[in-house]
Each structure stands twice: as structure tokens, then as C-alpha cells.
Amino acid sequence: MTKKELKKYFDILEISPEATLMEIRSAYSRLKKLYSTDSVVISPIEDEFSIEERQKILEQIEDAYTKLMEQVKESQDRLVHHERPFAAGHNTMEGEEASISYSGQVLRQIREKMGIELFEVSLDTKIRVELLENIEQERFDDLPPEVYLKGHIINYANYLLLDSQKAAADYIARYRAWEKANKEEK
């Protein structure tokens, strides 16, 4: 996608090209509400602003959001699969992509490379900042029971546009190993 096309999509969402993932999502949500058929803001000028015009604008907003999210996902994939300075224990088989094992540190590094602050993740995912910090630092003794933890990891990985099932499986495997080692010590 060219820079001109990207700029067009940012312009449709009324945000700058330097916008964060949270700002893109927020702009999309705000504009969808604004141009929806039951919008209080539009009702005073409803006669001058037809439903067809609003529908066309909503389609442009949807398209812009979809394209920008695809672009973010592509850059995220490049970050995860090509740069990989943080991948723990990766294979270097001839020509094969190395497989990443998602740990708390890997999640943190991906988030930081995307330029996302923990409070932004917390606002969108409704996961407390302290819990996100515990996940990233792998403070397993401060984490909730496994069933809840898995849901939080899936939610967090989805937010970062990662393979949420793999991220949860990798993280929970680390959690179980810690739990097993902890039981053996007692």
C-alpha cells in the first residue's frame, strides 16, 4: 500500500499518520457512532444529510479502518517474524521461519515496538495495568488462576494482533511449568 493510500485512510478517520493503534480504534468507533442512523448529533440536520450519504460515509470509514488494521497487522507480522531480536529459543532451519515462543518478555517487547503503552492496552482490554505488568514480568505468583489467566492472555494477544491461541498456549505452558516446580519445592 502506498503512502498516499495510507494517508487517505488516515484522513477518512480524521487522524494523523502517526496515530497509535488505540487512536485508530478510537477514531473508528467515534465516527461510526457519529454517522449512525440513530446519532443524536446528526438528527438536527437529518433533512440535509440523507441516509444514503451517511451510509456511504460509514462504508468509507469501515474500509479505512479495515485497511489500516491490515497494514498494522502486516507490520506486526514483519516485526514478529523478521526482526525477532526477542524470540527465545528459535529454530534456524534452512529457509524456514523461526517459531516464536510467546513469553511475558516477548509480549512486552512486541507492545513496545508497536509504540503502545500499558495503560492503552488496559483501556481497550479492560485488564488492569498491574495485571498486565505481572503478565509481562511473569510474576506467576501474582497472577489469577489459569482459567482466568488464559482469557487475559488471549485478550492481550488479540489486542496486539497476534495469534492468540498460540500466545495463550505458550504462556500457559510456562505458567504450568512454574506451578509444577513450585509444588515440587513444597
* Residues 119-153 pLDDT 10s: 989 988 999 999 999 999 999 999 999 999 999 99
- Count CB atoms within 10 A of the CB of residue 183: 8
**Neighbouring residues of 131: CB distance < 8 A, sequence distance ≥ 6:** 143, 144, 152
User: What number does CATH give the domain 3-73?
Assistant: 1.10.287
* Residues 82-92 pLDDT 10s: 544 443 333 33
- Which of 3.90.550.10, 1.10.3290.10, 1.10.260.40, 3.20.20.450 would CATH assign to domain 104-185? 1.10.260.40
Domain boundaries, the chain: 3-73, 104-185
Give, as one character, the DSSP assignment of residue 36: S
